[in-house]
A = this chain, B = another copy of it.
Amino acid sequence: MPADSSRSQQHLKAINRALASGTYTQVRQLINNLPGAEAAHLIESSPPREREILWQLLSKEQETEVLQYLGEEVRVELLRNLSTDELVSLVEELDTDDLADLLQELPDHVTSQVMASLDEQNRERLEHVMSYPVDTAGGLMNTDVITVRPEITFEVVQRYLRLRGDIPRTTDNLAVVNRKNQFIGLLPLTKVLISDPGTTVREAMITDIQSIPATLPAHDVAKIFERHDLVTAPVIDDEGMLVGRITIDDVVDVIMEEADHSLMSMAGLDDDEDTFGSVWQTARRRALWLGINLLTALAASAVIGLFEATLEKVVALAILMPIVASMGGIAGSQTLTLVIRAMALGQIQSNNTRYLLFKELSVGAINGLLWATVIGITAGLWFSDVSIGIVISVAMVINLIMAACAGALLPMIMKKMGIDPALAGSVVLTTITDIVGFMAFLGLATVLYANLLV
């Protein structure tokens, strides 16, 4: 049963056809039979009107399924229209970690009603998960971990599991705890399968493993999973008590969100920006970013304004002036992107920043010299003027070295100041490269032509 993406593509097409022709009974049947993740994807890929229709057509069970897979922004938008009762019955079905995430987005009176509707054990678990920030191990964890004591034999373990009758999804290990519920080791299920039934848990358990403090940031959790190829990991609190476990599927979400973050932030977009959101919402969100950039563009214009007299005399300068600024922006963005990624990967340490800076400055100088020569000759020939060729060459080298310097240092400085370099880095960088570019080019020209023209 090769269920590859072509099958789901066909489903989507069928649903879209049915939607377009208004045969909702058919859409209802199709969308409720899709896996939750695919139905969620379909809803996220739909314009507002279709999105609302699809959501209405979901069955109760499918709604709960779909809810877990929707992006935050779309989820909040769809839930906003539900009554509190509907919300309560809907969210009761979710896993502890998903429920905890969701409750944090909902109004307080809904949260307390949901809490009240849970039985004591589940409420305690939920309160536990919610006591940790969303972006920590505690916020990521689930509480469905199966524990065993070290002194029992595999025969007892297997009898216990049979009695239980159900093992939570993605369980590869049992957690071994002592009487105080302190975590002492992991017992891989495969060991239970292949070892002699008389073996005790203590004999077979692994103790040299990665248990994760509940307060560890999600970013570091993801790194531990990546580096050690984990599928699940136990989470402990300050006293070493086992409080839950983290599964790889939640870690994959963290990894994807972090990767998205750099890409989206560098364009001044929200990580969670809704591709098919409404016009007003989108326009409002982006207006600020454009406003900030308008200010920086005005600053660059003010710099140009300083050289009004020179520009009046030599109009060729106006024609060539965007080149130096633009090349600085491009070269600087390369360094900036590289450093931001390296920082996200944890590659930047105090002992290698000097080499990194040396490397980027050298690269800036080499490429500066190369393209300065090309543009110098081009500009000289274009305007039959050697001086303008010299001016643009020198300005280009200066700006490319400056760009490398800013691209490498800005993210590090911003991080120290607690500013997100992915968000603010590119604005500040292009402001610098524009101002330095115009200043160097027009400034040099002013000096040179003042001597020539006088």
Contacts and interface: CB of A to CB of B under 8 A. Distances in A.
A440 to B, nearest CB: 15
Interface in A192-211: 192-196, 207-211
Contacts of A35: 227-228
Nearest to A268: B334
B256 A1 contact: no
* Oligomeric state, in copies: 2
B315 A260 contact: no
Contact of A46 (B1, B223, B331, B352): B352
Contacts of A424: none
A194 B251 CA distance: 28
A200 to B, nearest CB: 17
Interface stretch (A77-85, A110-118, A285-293): A285-293
A301 B316 CA distance: 10
Contact of A351 (B16, B220, B349): B16
A134 to B, nearest CB: 19
B363 A170 contact: no
A44 B330 contact: no
A312 interface: yes
B323 A301 contact: yes
Interface string A341-360: 11000111101100110110
Contacts of A1: 207-209, 211
Contacts of A321: 318, 322
Contacts of A325: 322
A355 B301 contact: no
A167 B194 contact: yes
Contacts of A318: 304, 311, 315, 318, 321
Interface string A158-185: 1001101111011110000000000000
16 contacts: A2-B211, A2-B236, A4-B213, A4-B224, A5-B216, A45-B347, A167-B190, A167-B193, A192-B193, A255-B259, A263-B266, A275-B347, A289-B330, A297-B326, A301-B323, A304-B318
Interface of A: 1-5, 12, 16, 19-20, 35, 37-38, 41, 44-47, 69, 158, 161-162, 164-167, 169-172, 189-190, 192-196, 207-213, 216, 220, 223-229, 231, 236, 240, 248-249, 251-252, 255-256, 259-260, 262-264, 266-269, 273, 275-280, 282-283, 286-287, 289-291, 293-294, 297-298, 300-301, 304-305, 308, 311-312, 315, 318-323, 325-327, 330-331, 333-334, 336-339, 341-342, 346-349, 351-352, 355-356, 358-359, 362-363, 366-367, 370-371, 374-375, 378, 430, 434
